[in-house]
Structure 1
Amino acid sequence: MKTLKGPGLFLAQFIGDEAPFNRLDTMAAWAGSLGYKGVQVPTSNPAIFDLAKAAESQAYCDDIRTTLADHGMQITELSTHLQGQLVAVHPAYDDLFDGFADASVRGNPAARQAWAVEQLKMGARASQRLGLKAHATFSGALAWPYMYPWPQRPPGLVERAFGELAKRWRPILDAYDEAGVDLCFEIHPGEDLHDGVTFERFLEAVDHHPRAKILYDPSHLLLQHLDYLGFIDRYHDRIGIFHVKDAEFRPSATSGVYGGYQAWIDRPGRFRSLGDGQVDFRGIFSKFAQYDFDGWAVLEWECCLKHPEDGAREGAPFIKDHIIRVTDRAFDDFADASVDPAALDRLLGTTA
């Protein structure tokens, strides 16, 4: 049996212009002072982490590992969430997602997609140089605007969308396979991979590629009213990354799961800091212990009420207290009565 690593902290929501949030080393020191042992690092800001340099320079990667180790920290995974989103963008979202891309390819969807694909491939090489075994990303979406079947979808639309999605991701998955790194798609509304059914559809379209894995975040499953514990039972062999994030759904007489275009604070479903929501983390951590998940438990902080620094400060002990140090022996070993084969026959009444 294996014990989860952690606590880890996803840095994306904490990056800013002021110290300590404007440099990787100072953020690592700050996270370490709170009790975190690792950081999940976004790759869309070269001032924090230079993805292009990391993909080509072992010395750069070694320097980063040494710098983090000096603070008692390590990188849990790299993230290309924003770049992965751009691998597949429906035209309705072109303007909204253009800001995720390098300025040189904005306003040019084909160039933007090619840039995103190269970013993902650099992520594979950088992860390999850093000795990482998993990488976090989004799938992007072509079919999402048609999720609700009104107006009725024409036959073949969804199949064609997932065929195209698989065509775009297959060469990227192959690059991760070559690097020996799992590519973990966060199951997330707004992505074509937003629940178990859509992940299975994608998995079939990429011929069950061995590197196509899941970033498990229970908050997104709770808000979709999915059985997030049963999800682990079904997909545990495909889960490669774990985001520890809380959420709550408060039934309303005026608004449902789609939120009614309201701000997060007014929605029936909203993300919360750890321990303030409804997610059964004891059940989740027990499932991961049961299935020998040995990855990291990484806090992703998103809350419309609590200050992020308070959420980070409270998150480290919360995760630490939930990690189950798995046992190395059965609880009833004290009563073991070893017997020889002849005794077994006597117990069964099968002695010749």
Structure 2
Amino acid sequence: MRPVTMFTGQWADMPFDTLCSKMSSWGYDGLEIACWGEHLNIDKAVESDAYVRSLKDTMEKNHLQCHAIGNHLAGQLVCSRNDERFDVFAPAELHGQPEKMRAWAIDQMKKAAVVARLLGASVVTGFTGSSIWEGWYSFPPVSDEWIEAGYAQFADLWNPILDVYEQNGIKFALEVHPTEIAFDYWTTVRTLDAIRHRPSFGINFDPSHLYWQGIAPEQFIYDFKDRIYHVHMKDAMLNPGPRGGLLGSHITFGDMRRGWNFVSLGRGGVNFERIIRALNDIGYEGPLSVEWEDSGMEREAGAQEALAFVRRMDFKKSGVAFDKAMSNN
């Protein structure tokens, strides 16, 4: 069966050894380690063999493996228009300096490939940012040239990063997500075209971001079957009604006035049965990484419930047709 891991981004306030102990006791197989908070310092990992060894020792002591590392926050700064909202993603000494933040982020994304290799992971998950996300609704009118310039900027900034991934034998998996250069089917097509389908760049499949947009997650798997490098297990709940719209209404996650919310696995509307069958069909054998986000539920109970849900939902593909025996008569 596929290993079930936990993405540590939503647990970044918890010391790494405490987190590993909890995840192991609950039955998780491994981690997708976030590169922020208490869990993984990219610079320190590049500079110190002892630091890397300490992380590996902590995981080994708790019978956990590192299948991927997640560097979403730095990745966001690579292509975004870095105003004051983005300061929290960069070191304090760079706040208010957009281009210095971008340069720092590019360096961090390159180093992430090295660190993934050192930790024995094969994938770095994350974001790319986007200079054209704000043009998703074409008013004021958005020209084709403006959009093309955004994809060209993405290619110019990310191709040198991907060179480092290829040198280290690591793949980058973009979480297709609002505010990224790829946030739905068609933008994913254009993103892959922009970098000429480099094999080092693929997808961290997360159905929750597709579901509320009205995109069938399982179809997305088939459409990009050769690019599914990592899988997030995350659910979302639609909250239809006379007031709640899909754009979120500037209302905080967890508030039931919103038109949709992220919820613990199995409590939303994502059809994971179809997703597992689609993953089986394309031959995906990598981890199923729980990204637990539910502002209305206590997280430790939620993490344990999510693990049980994934274990129950996952299954191997049959090696024989159910009616094969009939042909033996």
TM surpasses 0.5: yes
Residue in structure 1 matched with residue 27 of structure 2 by the alignment: 35
Q: Residue by residue, what CA displacement relative to the aligned partner does 1:139-175 show, whole Å, maximum 9, x if unpaired? A: 1010011110112113400001110111111111111
Question: Which of the numbers 307, 311, 335 marks the counterpart of 2:298?
Answer: 307
Question: Which of the numbers 7, 19, 30 marks the counterpart of 1:10?
Answer: 7
TM-score, length basis structure 1: 0.88
Looking at structure 1, the residues matched to 317 and 127 of structure 2 have their Cα atoms a distance apart, in angstroms, of: 31
Residue in structure 1 matched with residue 87 of structure 2 by the alignment: 98
Looking at structure 1, the residues matched to 311 and 144 of structure 2 have their Cα atoms a distance apart, in angstroms, of: 49
Looking at structure 1, the residues matched to 177 and 282 of structure 2 have their Cα atoms a distance apart, in angstroms, of: 23
Looking at structure 1, the residues matched to 306 and 244 of structure 2 have their Cα atoms a distance apart, in angstroms, of: 30
Q: Residue by residue, what CA displacement relative to the aligned partner does 1:162-200 show, whole Å, maximum 9, x if unpaired? A: 101111111111111111111000011122211121121
Give the secondary-structure state (helix, strand or coil) at the position aligned to 1:87.
Answer: helix
Looking at structure 2, the residues matched to 72 and 336 of structure 1 have their Cα atoms a distance apart, in angstroms, of: 46
The alpha carbon displacement at 1:30 in A equals: 0.4
**Mapped contact 1:35–1:317 kept (Cα < 8 A):** no
**Mapped contact 2:46–2:114 kept (Cα < 8 A):** yes
TM-score, length basis structure 2: 0.94
Deviates more, 1:278-287 or 1:58-67: 58-67
Residue in structure 2 matched with residue 143 of structure 1 by the alignment: 132
Looking at structure 2, the residues matched to 74 and 64 of structure 1 have their Cα atoms a distance apart, in angstroms, of: 11
**Mapped contact 1:44–1:83 kept (Cα < 8 A):** no
The alpha carbon displacement at 1:40 in A equals: 1.1
Residue in structure 2 matched with residue 240 of structure 1 by the alignment: 229
Q: Please list, as runs of the form range in 1=range in 2, the aligned pairs for 1:204-223 lying within 5 A after superposition.
A: 204-223=193-212
Give the secondary-structure state (helix, strand or coil) at the position aligned to 1:135.
Answer: strand
The alpha carbon displacement at 1:44 in A equals: 2.0
Residue in structure 2 matched with residue 342 of structure 1 by the alignment: none
* Number of residue pairs the alignment of both structures matches: 327
CA shift in 2, pair 1:155/1:337, >3 Å? closer
**Which letter maps to 1:138?**
F
**Which letter maps to 2:2?**
L
Give the secondary-structure state (helix, strand or coil) at the position aligned to 1:140.
Answer: coil
Task: Structure 2: give runs of 5+ residues left out of the alignment.
Answer: none
What is the identity percentage for the equivalent residue pairs of Structure 1 and Structure 2?
Answer: 31
1:261 aligned onto 2:250: yes
The alpha carbon displacement at 1:263 in A equals: 2.7
**Mapped contact 1:185–1:214 kept (Cα < 8 A):** yes
**Which letter maps to 2:26?**
L
Residue in structure 1 matched with residue 154 of structure 2 by the alignment: 165
Task: Structure 1: give runs of 5+ residues left out of the alignment.
Answer: 339-352
Residue in structure 1 matched with residue 59 of structure 2 by the alignment: 68
The alpha carbon displacement at 1:259 in A equals: 1.8
CA shift in 2, pair 1:227/1:114, >3 Å? same
Looking at structure 2, the residues matched to 253 and 267 of structure 1 have their Cα atoms a distance apart, in angstroms, of: 11
Residue in structure 1 matched with residue 313 of structure 2 by the alignment: 322
The alpha carbon displacement at 1:66 in A equals: 2.6
Question: Which of the numbers 250, 259, 265 marks the counterpart of 1:274?
Answer: 265
Residue in structure 1 matched with residue 74 of structure 2 by the alignment: 83
Residue in structure 2 matched with residue 285 of structure 1 by the alignment: 276
Give the secondary-structure state (helix, strand or coil) at the position aligned to 1:316.
Answer: helix
Looking at structure 1, the residues matched to 248 and 91 of structure 2 have their Cα atoms a distance apart, in angstroms, of: 31
Looking at structure 1, the residues matched to 252 and 116 of structure 2 have their Cα atoms a distance apart, in angstroms, of: 36
Looking at structure 2, the residues matched to 250 and 271 of structure 1 have their Cα atoms a distance apart, in angstroms, of: 11
The alpha carbon displacement at 1:220 in A equals: 0.4
Residue in structure 2 matched with residue 125 of structure 1 by the alignment: 114
Q: Residue by residue, what CA displacement relative to the aligned partner does 1:291-332 show, whole Å, maximum 9, x if unpaired? A: 110111011111131111121121111111112134455545
**Mapped contact 1:219–1:247 kept (Cα < 8 A):** yes
Q: Residue by residue, what CA displacement relative to the aligned partner does 1:201-226 show, whole Å, maximum 9, x if unpaired? A: 11111111111100111010011111
Residue in structure 2 matched with residue 183 of structure 1 by the alignment: 172
**Mapped contact 2:12–2:36 kept (Cα < 8 A):** no
The CA RMSD over aligned residues, in Å, is 1.8
**Mapped contact 1:14–1:308 kept (Cα < 8 A):** no
**Which letter maps to 2:277?**
S
Looking at structure 1, the residues matched to 88 and 2 of structure 2 have their Cα atoms a distance apart, in angstroms, of: 36
1:44 aligned onto 2:41: no
**Mapped contact 2:12–2:34 kept (Cα < 8 A):** no
**Mapped contact 2:66–2:120 kept (Cα < 8 A):** no
**Mapped contact 1:193–1:202 kept (Cα < 8 A):** yes
1:296 aligned onto 2:287: yes
Give the secondary-structure state (helix, strand or coil) at the position aligned to 2:89.
Answer: coil
Give the secondary-structure state (helix, strand or coil) at the position aligned to 1:256.
Answer: coil
Looking at structure 2, the residues matched to 58 and 104 of structure 1 have their Cα atoms a distance apart, in angstroms, of: 27
Q: Residue by residue, what CA displacement relative to the aligned partner does 1:2-58 show, whole Å, maximum 9, x if unpaired? A: x4222x111111222xxxx2x21220110111111111111123x422211322444
